[in-house]
Amino acid sequence: MSIIEKAAEKLKTLQSEDPSAPEAVSASDQTVPHVAVTPNVKRLQDWARAPQAPAEETPLWHVDLMALKRVGVMPGGDAAARLADELRRIKRPLLATAAGKGTRPVENGHRIMIASAVPGEGKTFTALNLALSLAKEKDFEVLLVDGDIPKCDLTRLFKLERHAGLMDVLTDEQRRPEDVIVHTDLPGLMLVPVGQRNPLAAELFGSQRMERVLQDFSGRNQRRLLLFDSPPLLATSEAQALGTHMGQIILVVAASSTPQQTVKAAIQTLDKAKGISLILNRAQLLAGEDYYGSYYSRYYKDR
Ligand SMILES: Nc1ncnc2c1ncn2[C@@H]1O[C@H](COP(=O)(O)OP(=O)(O)OP(=O)(O)O)[C@@H](O)[C@H]1O
Ligand SMILES: [Mg+2]
Instruction: Tell me how many domains the chain contains.
Output: 1
pLDDT tens digits for range 105-142: 999 999 999 999 999 999 999 999 999 999 999 999 99
Does 63 map to a domain? no
- Least confident span in 62-71, 75-84, 238-247: 75-84
**Nearest-CA residue for atom 8 of ligand 1:** 122
Q: Which three-class secondary structure state does DSSP give residue 216?
A: helix
- Note the pLDDT of residue 59: 87
pLDDT tens digits for range 20-68: 444 332 233 222 222 222 223 333 334 343 344 555 567 899 999 999 9
Q: Which residues line ligand 1 (CB under 6 A)?
A: 72-73, 116, 119-125, 148, 151, 153, 232, 281-282, 291-292, 294
Looking at ligand 1, which atom is closest to the CA of residue 252? 21
How many Å lie between the centroid of ligand 2 and the Cα of residue 142? 18
Please give the residue that has the higher pLDDT: either 19 or 189: 189
C-alpha distance from residue 290 to each of 20, 28, 83, 283 (Å)? 32, 21, 11, 9
Mean pLDDT of 95-105: 92
Does 66 map to a domain? no
pLDDT tens digits for range 173-216: 999 999 999 999 999 999 999 999 999 999 999 999 999 999 99
How many Å lie between the centroid of ligand 2 and the Cα of residue 258? 16
- Note the pLDDT of residue 103: 87
Of the candidates 203, 206, 211, 180, the one whose C-alpha atom is nearest the C-alpha of residue 193 is 180
Distance CA 178, CA 32 (A): 38
Does 68 map to a domain? no
- Note the pLDDT of residue 152: 97
Of the candidates 264, 266, 256, 261, the one whose C-alpha atom is nearest the C-alpha of residue 291 is 256
- Note the pLDDT of residue 283: 75
pLDDT tens digits for range 147-178: 999 999 999 999 999 999 999 999 999 999 99
pLDDT tens digits for range 256-297: 889 999 999 999 999 999 999 999 998 764 444 444 445 555
Mean pLDDT of 237-261: 95
How many Å lie between the centroid of ligand 2 and the Cα of residue 250? 14
Neighbours of ion ligand 2 (CB under 5 A): 123-124, 153
Does 26 map to a domain? yes
Q: pLDDT-derived band of residue 221, with 50, 70 and 90 as boundaries? A: confident
Domain of 139, in residue numbers:
3-48+79-299
- Note the pLDDT of residue 273: 92
Q: Quickly list H helices, the chain.
A: 3-17, 33-36, 41-47, 65-70, 77-98, 123-135, 153-157, 166-171, 201-205, 208-218, 238-243, 260-268
Does 272 map to a domain? yes
8 A C-beta contact, residue 247 and residue 274: yes
C-alpha distance from residue 224 to each of 134, 140, 143, 191, 289 (Å)? 10, 6, 7, 12, 36
Average pLDDT score, the chain: 82
Amino acid at 192: V
Does 54 map to a domain? no
How many Å lie between the centroid of ligand 2 and the Cα of residue 103? 29
Q: Which three-class secondary structure state does DSSP give residue 91?
A: helix
Q: pLDDT-derived band of residue 71, with 50, 70 and 90 as boundaries? A: very high
- Note the pLDDT of residue 44: 38
* CA 83 to chain CA mean position, Å: 15
Does 55 map to a domain? no
Of the candidates 36, 178, 53, 169, the one whose C-alpha atom is nearest the C-alpha of residue 101 is 36
**E strand map for 117-198:** 141-146, 182-183, 189-192
C-alpha distance from residue 33 to each of 49, 108, 185 (Å)? 27, 20, 35
Does 293 map to a domain? yes
8 A C-beta contact, residue 286 and residue 38: no
**Nearest-CA residue for atom 4 of ligand 1:** 292
**Nearest-CA residue for atom 16 of ligand 1:** 122
C-alpha distance from residue 203 to each of 115, 177, 199, 230, 259 (Å)? 18, 18, 9, 15, 29
Nearest ligand atom owner, CA of 120:
1
Looking at ligand 1, which atom is closest to the CA of residue 79? 3
**Nearest-CA residue for atom 7 of ligand 1:** 122
For residue 302, pLDDT over 90 is answered with no
CATH assignment of the domain containing 91:
3.40.50.300
